[in-house]
Each structure stands twice: as structure tokens, then as C-alpha cells.
Structure 1
Amino acid sequence: MENTDLPVLENIKTLHKYDTIYSADSVEWCPHEPNQNLFVCGNYQLTEEQEFNSNNKRLGRILLFTLTTDLKLLQTLDTAAVLDQKWCPNQINGSSILGVVNAKRALEIYKLQNSFLVLVTKYTFLEDQSTETLILSLDWSTGKTESQHPHVACSDSKGNIHLLQLINNELVMEKSWHGHDFQAWITGFYYWDPNIIFSGGDDAVFLKFDKRAGDSPVAKNKQHETGVTSFHSNKSKEFLVATGSYDEHVRLWDVRSIKNPLNQLKMPGGVWRLKWDPFSQRYLLAACMFGGLHVMEAQSDKMVILDSYYEHKNITYGADWSFLNCNGNVIIGSCSFYDHLLCVSNFTCDF
């Protein structure tokens, strides 16, 4: 079943715009009180020379912002180019923890301390000397069940999936395996059972792994027409997960059988990021690269775009919901690449 309804509302209103200088590709809001007004924006600076010469540096920054009545930059961290960032859903020893993966084959862990990010530890993955390796995505295992020793899954540009665990402020490698023939754009946990890990790659394959069953996938799906770029598990609705693809579709799946999607929706552009809302997990926020930013109602029997946002003109990569919910007014952060634009917006909806 495919629904192609177009948006009819205009409930996304810009509150702030910010020039990030470097190209922007990631926005992530802190989920924990009293820091839910804080968020990070990740940058990946690509020059013409760097695009064709991998020996040059890929520059990056992590920008930490606070939102009150105004938008204020609190901190700038110069790093390798940032590919993805995720806050750990639960606090570790009372601190908010941020995971960041970058173009220097590293997973970095920061903690929020007095409204500043402090590096706790990092893990650098082994390099295949023939070509460079980028760590493309990460996810935490604790989207539903808290742990003081959470696992982190990462994917890389060689098609590999890595599973690590954060133990006493140190990252311990548990296992790595090869999943995709090309870039593994995304990996993520099934939050109802973190033994289950999904991945999607540029080979247009969507894979399900069970770490108790070895390194081979326990299920494989080839229905995406082009690369699988996004995945998010729904923490409120058991068995429900969502994927996005370059083929301009968002698909919903039942994890018990990923042979066919439960539902799918054609979007206005290739889908790069999908985020379930943190309140009801009924809505998806979709960053659609050249097709704008969209809020959609996403259920197995109903998929429809509720509203669209077109302030970003050049590759909308980053998108996230704030955990602040003021009487149905929800804050959204989004960013785009070549126009290095960060936007903070208000979305009005009945959650």
C-alpha cells in the first residue's frame, strides 16, 4: 500500500537561522533534563581538492548550542569531519553522553559537563591501507531499556558493521563483521531487543542481524530500489521500524518478517534521516536531501505528510526533534550541507 498525499498545512515556522560556516550534516537534541534546550550540530567541510584527493584533511566541527528565547553558540570543537552523532538515550553516571563518528575512522564519546562537551574516550578502527575508511553512522542500544554499560553499533564506508560497549568510560570492541558490498550508510538497534541490529547500504540491501546467531544476516531485503540511508526503531510500538532510501520512499516494517513493508510513502526527495518523535512515536521527521524537511504521520495503516519545510536549499541532511513540548508546540532542528544553514523551527501538532 502506498500513500502519496501532499501536505496541506503550514505548521512549521522558522524561529532562528544560523550560518555554520562549515557544511552542516547532523543535528541532535539532548534528551535529558535539565539540558533539553541544548543541541549539537555536526559539520563536514569538503573542498574541491578534498573531493578528489583523499589525502587532504576532511575538516569538521561540533557546535554546541543552547536555545532559550534566543539561539546561542556555547562551544565549538574542531574535529575530523563529522558523519553522525547520537546522544545516549539514558545518562551514564548522571551525565549526558554524546557519541560522534568521523572521517578519521574514530568513534568519540563526549560528556556534557557544566554546559560544555568534554572528550571522555575514543576508539579508532583499523584501517584498510588500500583506501580510506569513513565511519558513517552510529546508534546506542538503550533506546528503550537503560544500561550503565550501553552498546554502540557503527557502520563504515567499506560495508562493515561494528559493535562496541562503553564500560567505565572505555570503548571495548566486541565484534566486527562485513555486511554490505558498498558503503553501509546506516546501522541501528532494534530497541525492544538490542541483540538485533539492522543495517542499510549503498547496495540497496536492508539487513537484519542477531548477534547471538553469528555474523551472517538472519534476514535480507532487496526491495529498496537504491541505497538504504536511514533506519529508526520505534520504542513504543513493538515490531515497528522505519527505513529511508535514495529511492525517495519511507517504508515501515515488521521486524518479525521484513519480506514486504507494512506501508510506504513516496517522498519529494531521497531520504537521508528519519526520526520518530520522542512523545508519541506516531510521527516521523524526514530529511529528504534535495526535497526538503517533512513531518509525516507514520502508521502501518496510514502514512501521510502533515507538513513540509523548504528553507534548506542544498542537501538537507540533519534533522531532529527537541524533547521540549510546550502545549503541542515542538521545536525542530535541521541543517543543510552546501549552504551551511542551521534552522530551528516550531511545529504545532497534537501529540
Structure 2
Amino acid sequence: MQAKSRYYESTELSADSVESHPCLPYVFAVSTYQVDQDPAQSTEASPEYSRRGRCKLHRVTPGEAAACTTLDAIEGEAILDAKWTLANSACGEHGYGMLGIADATGYLSLYQLGENLAFTKKAAWRMNDEKALCLSLDWSDRTKMGASDASVIVSQSNGTLATVPSLHRAEPHGIETWHAHDYEAWIAAWDCWSGANVAWSGGDDLALKGWDLRTPIHDGTREPTFTCKKGFDGGVTSIQSHATRQHYWAVGSYDETIRIFDARNPRRPVADAPVGGGIWRAKWHPTNENALLLGCMHGGVRIVEWSPDAPIEVVCEFDQHESIAYGCDWERGAFRGADMPGASYVYSCSFYDAALHVWAWA
């Protein structure tokens, strides 16, 4: 199936992240990472540049020709990743959760979404002292609506991972940091079945690693529970634990192959398939346990289906992005397109063409 865009908008700045709100229908956040060079020094070998970003909160009116309204916007540092948490400690008395934003200056900023669907900045946590970029983040309550609290894990450009065990404090109390990868740690994600005890990470060193946070850190290092380098021909860039099939993980790489791993034997994948582009993001469908959404960079956006008794199959392609397709997410608040029974809405964005698209998979 070839999907067609139902709505297009210029994001103005280079777009790299899309995150659907977990419970508000048709509400999602799009984040950007813009590099501005100094024109006066454009002839130098290493011209001066600055980085900036924006996060915009949108609401879609679904339909064959969808409409989109901007609810709020945050201006600030260049953004690498953003994720929602609905933990009670994040919601406040009458809020709709909190958006964590990982930026290029090494900060994780926390923005609470109020009843008026506007952001309020609650904290800015410095995650490293080395001017390293925060590359990705994940909250431990992704599948636990209304959890009392949430832990966060952040991957960083200096190869480290950092965790904060609680949202209850304005400062990152109890932060743990350890060296995980020899180059950029592109991605880190919680095992959503582990209660914030187990996480996986991937890096530009072509390594997929598992971590048990109950093990101690010595001299800035922690022993991984496993390391898998076999078969990767590019950096490991995307990871997500399956919310309804315990033990299964989706793992994407620059090598254009999606892999499914079983945590009970993580040394090699149980399934793999080429998808025609490096996989920056991989996200399981909120209700269809076989469907997996992939941001395939130069290959556009793909949807694949997989089950333990069937191979991976590409079932939908979206090719209207004219540049690197980084960010993508399923509609999560409504799950289904009201005008198309059985359809799922998808939000996706691309980088150099600064494009946002809304489309549907029927």
C-alpha cells in the first residue's frame, strides 16, 4: 500500500521528532533541530554556527483533507528527541502530563501541559558536564497510564547513558551516568515490563547492549547484561520494547535493516528484513500488536507487520517526504481515524525540507 498525505505543513526549521500525546485525541508535538551558519564566515573551512530548535503542539481535525491547528510552541535549543509521560508526578493537579525534551546543549527540559493545552516549563536538568548532546530519552511509564512516578533514561553523544529515578524533584536527584558505547549512544529505551530496572541501548559502535540498573557502577562503567555486535553493518539507532508481547524488541540501524530480538536470547535477532533506509525511529502500534512504524530516513516512512509465527513484511510505504524522514508516530489518543473505520493516523516529519505530513494507514 502507498499512503497519501492528508495534510502538509512546513515546519520552517529542520524537523526530526514527532510524538503523539498518549491520551488526548489527535494532539502531537513536532520538534526541530536547526543549524545556522554565519554568512560572514561561510568561506572558512570551519565556519561559525549556532543551533536552535522549536517544539510545536498541534491538534488535527481528521478527514480526507485533514486540518491542523497549532496549540502552543516552545522556542529554544536544538532538539534531538522528545517524549511524553503521564505519571501523576508529571501531571500536576489538572494537567495532561509532561513532555521531556532532549537538546543539543546537554539538557533535559520538562514542560507540563496544562488544561488550557499550553506548556509550562517546570525544570531543566543538565545531564552531563562535557557539552555532549542529549540524543534520546525514554520514560519508564510508557505503558502504565497513571503511574505514581516515572524514571527517565537519556543517551548522549559522548557514549554515556544517564538515568534519573524520579520526577518528584526539581533537580535530577539520584542521577546515574555510565560509559556505555565507544561513540555516540544514539538510543536508549526501557524494557516496559521491567519496572525501570532493565534498559537497552544502541550506539555508533555497531553495538546493541542490555543493562540491569540494579548492578553497581564502578569508575563510571557498568557491566552490560549482554552485548550484540553480530550482523550490524551500521550504528544502532532505534529501539523499542513491545508493550503486549513480553521479551520482544524492535531494533533499527543505519544499515537499513529492522530486527526483532527476543530478550531471552538477545545474541541474535529472531527476525530481520531490509526496509530501504536507515531506521531512525521504530514504534509499535498502540493496539495492533503486529504493526511497527519506521522512520527510514532516505527511504521515507514504512509500516511493517511481524508476529512470532510470521516473517517481517512491509505493508505500507509513505514516500512524500523529500528529505531525511526522522520523526514519526502513530495517533495514540484516538487510535482510529473516525472517518475511516479501521484506519490509523500517522504523523511524520523530515529534515532538510522541513516538512510535516499527516496520513492514514487503512
TM-score (norm: length of structure 1)? 0.91
Question: Is 1:109 the equivalent of 2:114?
Answer: no
Deviation at residue 89 of structure 1 after TM alignment? 5.0
Question: Is 1:293 the equivalent of 2:301?
Answer: yes
Matching residue of 1:140: 139
Deviation at residue 298 of structure 1 after TM alignment? 2.1
- Counting only pairs closer than 5 Å after superposition, residues 271-350 of structure 1 correspond to structure 2 as 271-300=279-308, 301-323=310-332, 324=334, 325-326=336-337, 327-348=341-362
Q: State the SS of the aligned residue for 2:175.
A: strand
Question: Is 1:80 the equivalent of 2:77?
Answer: yes
Q: For 1:149 and 1:89, how far apart are their aligned partners in 2?
A: 9
Deviation at residue 332 of structure 1 after TM alignment? 0.4
Question: Is 1:36 the equivalent of 2:25?
Answer: yes
Q: 2:224 aligns with which of 204, 212, 217?
A: 217
Q: Which moved more, 1:51-60 or 1:301-310?
A: 51-60
- Counting only pairs closer than 5 Å after superposition, residues 1-351 of structure 1 correspond to structure 2 as 9-10=1-2, 12-32=3-23, 35-48=24-37, 56-69=49-62, 70-88=67-85, 90=87, 92-93=91-92, 94-113=95-114, 114-128=116-130, 132-146=131-145, 147-168=147-168, 170=170, 171-193=172-194, 194-214=196-216, 215-223=222-230, 224-300=232-308, 301-323=310-332, 324=334, 325-326=336-337, 327-348=341-362
Letter in 1 for 2:81: D
| 1:282-306 deviation per Cα after TM superposition (whole angstroms, max 9, x unaligned) | 2110011001100110223321000
Q: For 2:48 and 2:72, how far apart are their aligned partners in 1?
A: 28
Q: State the SS of the aligned residue for 2:214.
A: helix
| 1:26-83 deviation per Cα after TM superposition (whole angstroms, max 9, x unaligned) | 0001011xx2221110000023459986974310001111112520112221110000
Letter in 2 for 1:46: V
Q: Which moved more, 1:208-217 or 1:119-128?
A: 119-128
Q: For 1:172 and 1:80, how far apart are their aligned partners in 2?
A: 23
Matching residue of 2:219: none
Deviation at residue 174 of structure 1 after TM alignment? 2.8
Count matched residues. Answer: 334
Kept in 1: contact 2:249–2:261 (CA 8 A)? yes
Structure 1, unaligned runs of 5 or more: 1-8
In terms of fraction of residues, the more strand-rich structure is 1
Deviation at residue 225 of structure 1 after TM alignment? 1.4
Deviation at residue 90 of structure 1 after TM alignment? 4.6
How has the CA–CA distance of structure 1 residues 332 and 263 changed in structure 2, closer, same or farther, with 3 Å as cutoff?
Answer: same
Q: State the SS of the aligned residue for 2:137.
A: strand
Q: For 1:195 and 1:14, how far apart are their aligned partners in 2?
A: 40
Kept in 2: contact 1:89–1:140 (CA 8 A)? no
Kept in 2: contact 1:25–1:318 (CA 8 A)? yes
Kept in 2: contact 1:187–1:231 (CA 8 A)? yes
Deviation at residue 164 of structure 1 after TM alignment? 0.6
Deviation at residue 97 of structure 1 after TM alignment? 1.2
Kept in 2: contact 1:120–1:169 (CA 8 A)? no
Letter in 2 for 1:222: K
Letter in 1 for 2:331: S
How has the CA–CA distance of structure 1 residues 254 and 49 changed in structure 2, closer, same or farther, with 3 Å as cutoff?
Answer: farther
Structure 2, unaligned runs of 5 or more: 217-221
| 1:274-333 deviation per Cα after TM superposition (whole angstroms, max 9, x unaligned) | 000011232110011001100110223321000101111110000000022132121100
How has the CA–CA distance of structure 1 residues 89 and 229 changed in structure 2, closer, same or farther, with 3 Å as cutoff?
Answer: farther
TM-score (norm: length of structure 2)? 0.88
Q: Which moved more, 1:53-62 or 1:218-227?
A: 53-62
RMSD: 1.8
